[in-house]
């Protein structure tokens, strides 16, 4: 089945130690998103790629970076994780459409739960 | 900036009964999209139902329907004949109709409990 896969499902890192979260998709969607979901809070968009075009949200900290080497894969890099970065990180994809057309559904992965010690 | 508010952190309903989850939003836009997503424990978020703001007719998907009140900026979800598998976090979300790549703005969610 076509899907969005996130690895690992659980990640533990140390304060200040760089960490990379991975997302892959078999849907061949041209848009990939990263959301941060802290405990008991709404998921918050960090950034997205439309094909190779990177779109950062204005309030996303510089500590968070992303790479998309090809259509299928997208990575979230946290350069120096702090205790406040502990959260669930959700990857999502969508087909993208021209302006004015109904939006395609966003398909979510199961998330990676990040713990910072 | 757009905001989405879900005022019910938790709701409980008896199996086979009907429950309504509330959502309000704030926007200055006239054209946008609204969604309800379901996130079961330890499982991925899936789309339940969507509504386009320019459509007056309320969306329905089997047991799920919405009450969209554009003037009041209200978008509630009604679940009829509740089933044990409906237990999950439910998120209301908003999206602008631009370019096809805009992200979702979510509410904080409502935890729905189904009592057998």
Provide the token pair at A53.
């075009």
B84, two tokens: 């044990």
Contacts of A41 (CB under 8 A, 6+ apart): B108
Q: Is B100 on the interface with A (CB under 8 A)?
A: yes
**Nearest CA of chain B to the CA of A67: how many Å?**
17
pLDDT given at position A100 = 45
Question: For chain B, what percent of residues have pLDDT higher than 90?
Answer: 74
Q: Which of B37, B46, B100 sits opposite A103 (nearest CB)?
A: B100
Closest CA to B7 of B110, B112, B89: B110
Reading the block at residue B103, the tokens are: 């992200």
Give me the residue from B33, B91, B107 closest to A103, CB to CB.
B33
What is the predicted pLDDT for the residue at A115? 97
pLDDT of the residue at A99: 46
SS3 of residue B84 by DSSP: helix
More confident residue, B54 or B20: B20
Q: Please state the separation of Cα B76 from the chain's center in Å.
A: 6
Asked if A44 reaches chain B (Cβ–Cβ under 8 Å), the answer is yes
**C-alpha span between A65 and A94 (Å, rounded):** 20
Which segments in chain A show pLDDT lower than 70? 1-2, 96-104
Reduced to 3 states (helix: H, G, I; strand: E, B; else coil), residue A81 is: coil
pLDDT at B101: 63
Q: What is the mean pLDDT of residues B8-29?
A: 96
Nearest-CB residue to A31 (from B44, B98, B101): B101
Which range is least confidently modeled, A75-84, A93-102, B7-16, B85-94? A93-102
A48 and chain B in contact, CB less than 8 A = yes
Chains A, B: CB pairs < 8 Å: 69
Residue-wise pLDDT for B40-72, tens only, equals 987 789 999 999 998 889 999 999 999 999 999
For B2, the 3-state DSSP assignment is coil
Q: CA-to-CA distance for B63 and B65, rounded, in angstroms?
A: 7
Q: Is the pLDDT of residue B29 over 80?
A: yes
CB contact under 8 A, A110 and B33: no
Do A45 and B42 count as a contact with CB atoms less than 8 A apart? no
Q: How many CB atoms lie within 10 A of CB B41?
A: 8
**Residue pair B66/B51 in contact by the 8 Å Cβ criterion:** yes
Question: Three-state DSSP class for B86?
Answer: helix
What is the phi/psi pair of residue B78, to 5°? -110, 130
Q: For A110, name the nearest residue in chain B, comparing CA atoms only.
A: B44
Distance of CA A25 to the CA centre of its chain: 12
Whether B94 has a pLDDT exceeding 50, the answer reads: yes
CB contact under 8 A, A95 and B106: no
- Has residue B112 got a pLDDT over 50? yes
A43 CA to chain B: closest CA distance, Å?
Answer: 6
pLDDT at A1: 64
Mean predicted confidence (pLDDT) in B88-104: 82
Per the CB < 8 A criterion, the answer to whether B80 and B60 are in contact is no
Is residue A40 exposed (0-12), middle (13-18) or buried (19+ Cβ within 10 Å)?
exposed
pLDDT value at position B6? Answer: 96
pLDDT of residue B98: 62
Q: And the tokens for A113?
A: 């739960």
Mean local confidence (pLDDT), B84-88: 96
At A83 the three-state DSSP class reads helix
Interface test with A, best of B33, B44, B49 (most A CBs within 10 A): B44
* Rama region for B86: left / alpha / beta (φ>0; ψ in -120 to 50; rest): alpha
Nearest CA in chain B to A36: B106
Tokens for B55, please give them. 């459509």
């Amino acid at each position: 089945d076509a899907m969005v896969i996130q690895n690992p499902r659980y990640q533990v890192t140390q304060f200040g130690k760089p960490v990379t979260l991975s997302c892959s998709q078999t849907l061949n969607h041209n848009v990939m998103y990263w959301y941060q979901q802290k405990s008991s809070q709404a998921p918050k968009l960090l950034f997205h790629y439309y094909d190779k075009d990177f779109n950062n949200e204005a309030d996303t900290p510089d500590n968070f970076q992303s790479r998309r080497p090809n259509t299928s894969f997208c990575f979230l890099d946290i350069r120096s994780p702090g205790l406040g970065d502990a959260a669930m990180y959700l990857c999502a994809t969508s087909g993208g459409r021209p302006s004015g057309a109904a939006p395609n559904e966003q398909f979510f992965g199961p998330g990676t739960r990040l713990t910072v010690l | 900036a757009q905001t989405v508010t879900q005022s019910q952190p938790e709701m409980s309903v008896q199996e086979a009964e009907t429950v309504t989850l509330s959502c309000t939003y704030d926007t200055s836009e006239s054209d946008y999209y609204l969604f309800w997503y379901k996130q079961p424990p330890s499982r991925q978020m899936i789309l339940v139902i969507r509504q386009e703001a320019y459509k007056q007719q309320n969306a329905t998907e089997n047991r799920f329907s919405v009450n969209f009140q554009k003037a009041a900026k209200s978008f509630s979800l009604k679940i009829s004949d509740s089933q044990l598998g409906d237990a999950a976090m439910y998120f209301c979300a908003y999206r602008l109709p631009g370019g096809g790549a805009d992200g979702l703005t979510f509410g904080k969610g409502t935890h729905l409990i189904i009592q057998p």
